[in-house]
């Protein structure tokens, strides 16, 4: 772990690149320390792997289906009560992929979509979406210039937090070689997910909202429209990591067909979606690896994200906490 650090000061300009859970938690914490925080994200909104996607007239969660009890508790421990967004509990009826009942998860989530959590964390913080930061340039001892992919300067900052997936962070870290070398070693796995809107629920799933267990193709399946505050007969079909790795280069049409067939086989009936959407998370899974270094010697350039601290939502929250502890007075 790099030992040196410099606490953030009131009025210090800080850029956060990435509006996923880790990035927005860090932005919220820095905002409470009275830094001037500006967040950039290449997408149209916030959320990262808590993002939602349009499916016809409906919105469906595209990434993590929710927070479990320990993740919610970690979030509550990190945030003051006044900053903690309202979360609703979901207790889905669950089964394994043989449709044998199992104990289902307890999941908490924002309404009307999971990205409402990250949006709430950025209340009062400047957010610039559809901006892909391409270069981080160290101008002088205490200033960094950000340029987007078109070469437009997006500002000069005293401190920069990179909350993008590791492979995307590498190109931004040329001015911090030791940190770049550490991040370059991080390996991330892909994940395919298929979103469906159906006319009606399949007969075999009439009492079920969650499927998981052993399957050659599928990791888990859930009824997204059954979540609190959602509507419509919408389903998310998530492929296994190893299957996604094997098919990472397949066309979206091929993968969409394969996942739809797997879902239809579970239901033992043909599935004819009203709407469907396939998405490949190229950098979805960081496993349980942790980054030994997450900032420059003076803590002026820092990285955070699930891949920094063990993967998943747990890793995102932990990395945000570690970063804020490093820069807090």
Using the predicted structure, report yes or no on whether residue 226 has a pLDDT greater than 90: yes
Domain holding 253, by residue range, is 189-285
Q: Tell me whether the omega of the peptide bond preceding residue 231 falls within 30 degrees of 0, making it cis.
A: no
Structural domain includes residue 225: yes
Structural domain includes residue 269: yes
- Tokens for 105, please give them: 């998860």
Averaged pLDDT, 224-247: 96
Name the burial class of residue 286, with classes exposed (0-12), middle (13-18) and buried (19+) by CB atoms within 10 angstroms of its CB: buried
- Tokens for 17, please give them: 């690149």
Q: Among residues of the chain, what percentage have pLDDT more than 90?
A: 91
Structural domain includes residue 96: no
SS3 46: coil
CB 279 within 8 A of CB 236: no
Using the predicted structure, report yes or no on whether residue 1 has a pLDDT greater than 80: no
Same structural domain, 156 and 243: no
Structural domain includes residue 30: yes
Binning pLDDT at 50, 70 and 90, where does residue 140 land? confident
pLDDT for the residue 2: 40
Structural domain includes residue 129: yes
CB 247 within 8 A of CB 132: no
Averaged pLDDT, 269-291: 92
Alpha-carbon gap, residue 57 to 157, rounded angstroms: 40
Same structural domain, 227 and 307: no
CATH code at position 245: 3.90.660.10
Alpha-carbon gap, residue 10 to 12, rounded angstroms: 6
Tell me the pLDDT tens digit for each residue of 149-189: 999 999 999 999 999 999 999 999 999 999 999 999 999 99
Residue (of 172, 173, 136) closest to 155 by Cα position: 136
Locate all alpha helices (DSSP H) within 230-311, ordered by sequence. 241-246, 252-267
Same structural domain, 139 and 198: no
Q: What are the two backbone dihedrals, phi and then psi, of residue 46, each rounded to the nearest 5 degrees?
A: -105, 175
Same structural domain, 162 and 33: yes
Same structural domain, 215 and 293: no
Which residues, 6 or more positions from 85, have their beta carbon under 8 angstroms from its beta carbon?
A: 110, 116, 117, 120, 121
Structural domain includes residue 7: no
Averaged pLDDT, 10-30: 97
Name the burial class of residue 272, with classes exposed (0-12), middle (13-18) and buried (19+) by CB atoms within 10 angstroms of its CB: exposed
CATH code at position 145: 3.50.50.60
Alpha-carbon gap, residue 253 to 292, rounded angstroms: 39
pLDDT for the residue 5: 57
Alpha-carbon gap, residue 91 to 210, rounded angstroms: 9
């Amino acid at each position: 772990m790099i030992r040196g650090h410099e606490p953030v000061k009131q009025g210090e300009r800080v850029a956060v690149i990435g509006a996923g859970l880790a990035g927005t938690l860090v932005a919220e914490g820095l905002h409470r320390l009275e830094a001037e925080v500006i967040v950039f994200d290449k997408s149209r909104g916030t959320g990262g792997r808590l993002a939602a996607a349009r499916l016809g007239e409906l919105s469906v969660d595209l990434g993590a289906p929710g927070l479990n009890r320990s993740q919610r508790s970690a979030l509550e421990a990190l945030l003051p009560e006044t900053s903690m967004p309202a979360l609703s509990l979901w207790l889905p009826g669950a089964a394994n992929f043989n449709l044998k009942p199992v104990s289902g998860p307890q999941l908490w989530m924002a309404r009307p979509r999971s990205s409402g959590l990250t949006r709430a964390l950025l209340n009062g913080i400047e957010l610039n979406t559809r901006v892909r930061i391409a270069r981080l340039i160290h101008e002088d001892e205490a200033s960094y210039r950000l340029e987007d992919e078109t070469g437009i300067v997006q500002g000069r900052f005293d401190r920069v937090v990179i909350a993008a997936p590791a492979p995307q962070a590498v190109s931004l870290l040329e001015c911090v070689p030791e940190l770049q070398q550490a991040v370059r070693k991080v390996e991330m796995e892909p994940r395919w997910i298929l979103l469906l809107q159906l006319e009606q629920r399949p007969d075999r799933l009439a009492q079920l909202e969650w499927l998981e267990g052993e399957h050659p193709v599928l990791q888990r399946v859930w009824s997204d429209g059954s979540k609190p505050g959602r509507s419509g007969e919408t389903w998310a079909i998530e492929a296994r990591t190893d299957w996604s790795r094997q098919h990472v280069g397949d066309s979206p049409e091929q993968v969409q067909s394969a996942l739809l067939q797997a879902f239809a086989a579970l239901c033992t009936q043909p599935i004819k979606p009203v709407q469907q959407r396939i998405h490949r998370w190229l950098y979805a899974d960081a496993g349980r690896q942790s980054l030994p270094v997450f900032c420059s010697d003076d803590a002026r350039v820092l990285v955070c994200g699930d891949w920094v601290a063990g993967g998943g939502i747990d890793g995102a929250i932990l990395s945000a906490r570690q970063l804020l502890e490093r820069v807090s007075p």
